[in-house]
Amino acid sequence: MTGLAALPMYDWPEIRPASDALWAAIRDQLLLRGIAAPAVLDRGDQMEALWTDPDLVLSQTCGYPFATRLAGRVALVATPAHAATGARPGRYYSVLVARRTDGPVSAGDLAGRRFAFNMRHSQSGFAAPVRLLLAGGHSSQPKPLETGAHRASIRAVATGEADWAAIDAVTWQLALRHEPAAETLRVFAVSPETPALPLITSLRHAADAPAIADAVEAAIAGLDAAIRKQLLLTGLVRLNPQDYAPLAASFDARRCLPSLPA
């Protein structure tokens, strides 16, 4: 196997055959351009290590770590465009979700409600809702619940372990298709749009980034429409690192989440 590749951000078990088909198409296009690539995707659980591995050919990461801890350590390739309701191509947002029966009705109704989030370095699951609360002068007082994944946050809210969560808009569309717990939830607010989850390569391959983007774009365009529909993919947008720079702005999460553990 030559190099490393992963598409971890939306790689739900229910659509892994479609993800594998996408990668096979990307790999074929990379090989046509003289860029060696692995035959299969890496599905290990050490994404942080993979993102900074010198052998990385292609991966998707989250915008917040790209703008912060990965800044200057990886090269931007491009940004996939997904069919998430209302988002401009190459952009996305978070949906704030709660139970249909007894959940909050607005961001101003969260003081006594417990927040579930996937992880602290998530743009959609943590940074976006925190910035939204701070901008509105709102707070969520109970100790937040860190779940490790958007899908786990959806389930935590559905079961009553938490009261609300912020979910990547693309992930929410996948949940509506594949996660029964989502059927018990509703969207009560949305965050502002930001650049969507970027595709990256290692600095070793930085000179090849435009060719890698061309390969991805050609692969998406050549995919069977049914596979694109499963993946919610509509195309590719050529953003630049400066588009992600605002995501690196600091914020004080404990101002709106006073019980957040240190």
- What DSSP element (H or E) covers 6? strand 4-6
Q: Is residue 258 part of a domain?
A: no
Q: Is residue 59 part of a domain?
A: yes
Are 182 and 110 in a shared domain? yes
- What DSSP element (H or E) covers 100? none
The domain in which residue 16 lies consists of 4-83+195-248
- pTM here is 0.96
What was the pLDDT predicted at 237?
A: 98
Question: Could you tell me the CATH number of the domain that includes residue 72?
Answer: 3.40.190
What was the pLDDT predicted at 149?
A: 97
Give dist(CA 154, CA 248) in Å, integer. Answer: 26
**pLDDT tens sequence for the chain (262 residues):** 589 999 999 999 999 999 999 999 999 999 999 999 999 999 988 898 999 999 999 999 999 999 999 999 999 999 999 998 889 999 999 999 999 999 999 999 999 999 999 999 999 999 999 999 999 999 999 999 999 999 999 999 999 999 999 999 999 999 999 999 999 999 999 999 999 999 999 999 999 999 999 999 999 999 999 999 999 999 999 999 999 999 999 999 999 999 999 8
Question: Could you tell me the CATH number of the domain that includes residue 142?
Answer: 3.40.190.10
CA angle 46, 52, 57 (to 5 degrees): 95
CA 59 to chain centre: 12
* Number of other residues whose CB lies within 10 A of the CB of residue 177: 13
Query: The sheet that has 233-237: what strands, in order across it?
Result: 4-6, 56-60, 199-202, 74-82, 233-237
Are 130 and 108 in a shared domain? yes
Q: Is residue 140 part of a domain?
A: yes
Q: Is residue 102 part of a domain?
A: yes
Are 98 and 187 in a shared domain? yes
Q: Is residue 107 part of a domain?
A: yes
DSSP string covering 65-86: HHHTTTTTTEEEEEEEEE--TT
